[in-house]
Amino acid sequence: MTIFNDRDAAYTRMLTRNRAYHRAGNFKNLAVLVDGPSDGQFAVMPLDEAIAGEFMYEWAV
């Protein structure tokens, strides 16, 4: 999990990771954007971790 203070930077990181995974044919490791851990912070984490932790997330490819 990578934490950012800027939502745009976090979203850009998520898109970059997902595009790389998509090009490699690796659809199991998609990254998602999660609000938190603190107010004003955003985390980029693997989809399976977000589901297991029951986080609200958004994603894009």
Cα–chain-centroid distance for residue 45?
Answer: 4
Whole-model pTM? 0.83
51 Cβ neighbours under 8 A, 6+ residues apart: none
Angstrom distance (rounded) from CA 9 to CA 40: 13
How does pLDDT run across 22-47, given as a tens digit for each residue?
A: 888 887 789 999 998 889 999 999 99
**Three-state DSSP class for residue 21:** helix
Mean pLDDT for the chain overall: 90
Is 61's pLDDT higher than 70? no
